[in-house]
């Protein structure tokens, strides 16, 4: 792999992890109980659970795209958000968090040794990975804010709190 290829891979993996910008993306949901994850603070458009499911939806979409598939997008933005505010149980919450983390790992695998300048249509693999990294960062910030309102911040791994 060329020096540029290695630099692109490092850039993409850093964008996916949140490293250097905020709490690790994989940790933003850690230590949150399922009932709190399903509560929606007054005035908030979404619960933490809904944000998690939305992030997972788009991660899965990008993973499919990276595999060479042509995944269909929702007809409307609301199609990537779950209707239910919270998980049905602790087990459902734990599985949703595991699904999210599996998606992150699949995206990171999509960086390794790949020609990130290649792609399809108007997007390169690098652009797609950077887009989902930015999307996750945006929503990780939203989750941090919701958790602060709910009195459940930072996660056990710590977080920027100054």
* DSSP symbol at 95: H
Look at residue 93 and tell me if it is in a domain.
Answer: yes
Q: What are the pLDDT digits (tens) for 101-143? A: 999 999 999 988 889 999 888 999 999 999 999 999 999 999 9
Q: Specify the number of domains making up the chain.
A: 1
> CB atoms < 10 A from the CB of 68, how many?
7
Look at residue 71 and tell me if it is in a domain.
Answer: yes
Q: Give the CATH number, domain containing residue 94.
A: 1.20.120.450
Look at residue 156 and tell me if it is in a domain.
Answer: no
Look at residue 159 and tell me if it is in a domain.
Answer: no
Look at residue 57 and tell me if it is in a domain.
Answer: yes
CA-nearest of 11, 36, 41, 51 to 141 is 51
Distance CA 97, CA 133 (A): 17
* Domain assignment of residue 45, given as a range: 3-149
Look at residue 18 and tell me if it is in a domain.
Answer: yes
Look at residue 157 and tell me if it is in a domain.
Answer: no
Look at residue 162 and tell me if it is in a domain.
Answer: no
Query: pTM, whole model, 2 decimals?
Result: 0.93
Q: Name the CA dihedral angle for 107, 17, 129, 33, rounded to a multiple of 10 degrees.
A: 70
The CA distances from residue 152 to 4, 27, 34, 41, 143, in Å, are 41, 13, 12, 12, 10
Phi, psi of 96 (to 5 degrees): -65, -40
With a cut of 60, say whether residue 162 has pLDDT above it: no
DSSP of 17-45? HTTTTSS-GGGTTTT--HHHHT---TT-S
What's the whole-number average pLDDT of the chain?
92
């Amino acid at each position: 792999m060329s020096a540029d290829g290695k630099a692109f891979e490092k850039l993409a993996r850093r964008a996916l992890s949140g490293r250097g910008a905020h709490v690790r993306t994989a940790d933003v949901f850690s230590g949150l109980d399922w009932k709190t994850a399903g509560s929606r603070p007054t005035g908030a458009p979404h619960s933490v659970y809904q944000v998690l499911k939305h992030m997972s939806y788009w991660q899965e979409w990008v993973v499919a795209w990276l595999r060479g598939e042509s995944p269909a997008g929702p007809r409307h933005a609301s199609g990537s958000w779950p209707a239910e505010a919270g998980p049905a149980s602790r087990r459902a919450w734990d599985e949703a968090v595991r699904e999210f983390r599996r998606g992150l790992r699949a995206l990171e695998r999509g960086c390794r040794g790949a020609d990130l300048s290649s792609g399809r249509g108007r997007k390169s693999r690098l652009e797609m990975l950077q887009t989902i990294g930015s999307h996750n960062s945006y929503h990780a910030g939203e989750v941090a804010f919701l958790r602060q309102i709910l009195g459940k911040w930072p996660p056990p791994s710590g977080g920027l709190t100054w």
